Structure 1
């Protein structure tokens, strides 16, 4: 469980696989409907999560992500939509869980302690380079008047810097996007990027204090028995759901 506030009005979490056969790519808790997992299994997992959260299925929202930076607002009018091509969600609806699907990419949850707005963003390396975290915060400011000093942020389980080995072209993409490479990159036999730090620094550039950002520090590649990892299990595998809800 990830905590964004000392108050009891917000729940934020990342799902774990549970007790599984580590090498079976869909074995475990998976609600991502656009994987090749069994539809009945996905439906059963959604049902279990809804029961745990005490909401109906319509109020459990997961977009179909495409490694882009489009942000959508979840409203009473569009509940039940599939949000195709969306990589971040924002809302002020209570009792509505918004979240993103990941299996090594970085899930980012945001809570505005003043306006009680929430957000969930999917930041793969492409989304990180394109500053999806900043764009999500900008949308919160535009729609709800969110101010950086009021935001609490959690960066959930995702691939860690030791496991995230990249080619020179990815390194250059980060450098050209004005990331501080001395702080986010390290050289082994190849370059490695710290996506946790990259997103934290990107968020701080909006004015969010560093003390308001929590990094889970759990590497999905290393702990693929607990969390799905596309690099370990293959792209055709289950996904973690990282969600946030106003109680």
Structure 2
């Protein structure tokens, strides 16, 4: 069902896998993505399963309409409508922020001191657009977070974050290219270190290699698993 990275009674951080859900075929079985061609009733059921596992109501799961951007939004109230974005932040308790992935990097951030959490979808476009910097700066402005207090969890992604991009020009990020691959994990590590974040954990799981996880590069037609972060 999931990999739990932090559960200290106050904060819960983890990543779902593809097991324990209602979906079938290419989406078997815990597909949480509602934009990949799966039946809506199955996705709804799967999200209810995740909510029950986390101990919250399904309405307390907050998913983004991800657009491969560097846009970050703040959820101040449970019924807030979330504009299309790739990062969300909140200080609400019992609200689980969720990021959908199937090879991109799911990033979860916890501020245990100022009590705020963030979920970020970091693909090539988001990393080049420095979405993590945007998220951290918003946490600092809105919730008085200090970078030295942040815990960052980078979840399962493709081959250690090495994405095939061919000859695509990444501008100043070309220094993270090697043989047509963009080393996203290296770029993220440098970005967080430059921000002053000291506690960064990279999950070693490769989504392309490990069939416990959905992988778009491996299967094309497939579901999405989720990173989730919540303050109790």
- The alpha carbon displacement at 1:113 in A equals 1.9
The equivalent of 2:42 in structure 1 is 41
The equivalent of 1:226 in structure 2 is 212
1:132 and 1:2 map into 2 onto residues whose CA distance is: 24
Does the alignment pair 1:98 with 2:84?
no
Aligned in 2, Cα 1:218/1:245: closer, same or farther, shift over 3 Å? Answer: same
Indicate if the aligned counterparts of 1:102 and 1:240 stay in contact, CA closer than 8 A: yes
1:162 and 1:71 map into 2 onto residues whose CA distance is: 22
Indicate if the aligned counterparts of 2:164 and 2:182 stay in contact, CA closer than 8 A: yes
Indicate if the aligned counterparts of 1:160 and 1:194 stay in contact, CA closer than 8 A: no
1:139 and 1:32 map into 2 onto residues whose CA distance is: 26
Indicate if the aligned counterparts of 1:34 and 1:64 stay in contact, CA closer than 8 A: no
The equivalent of 2:31 in structure 1 is 30
Indicate if the aligned counterparts of 2:97 and 2:119 stay in contact, CA closer than 8 A: yes
Instruction: Report Cα offsets for 1:32-91 as digits up to 9, x if no partner.
Output: 222211111111111111111111111000011000111111122534x3x242110000
Secondary structure of 1:55's partner?
coil
Secondary structure of 1:242's partner?
strand
- 1:186 aligned residue (178, 186, 191): 178
The equivalent of 2:191 in structure 1 is 202
Q: Report how many residues are paired.
A: 228
Gaps of 5+ in 1: none
- The alpha carbon displacement at 1:124 in A equals 0.5
2:191 and 2:142 map into 1 onto residues whose CA distance is: 21
Secondary structure of 1:107's partner?
strand
1:4 and 1:198 map into 2 onto residues whose CA distance is: 24
Structure 2 length-normalised TM = 0.91
Structure 1 length-normalised TM = 0.86
2:191 and 2:201 map into 1 onto residues whose CA distance is: 14
Indicate if the aligned counterparts of 2:6 and 2:14 stay in contact, CA closer than 8 A: no
The equivalent of 1:244 in structure 2 is 229
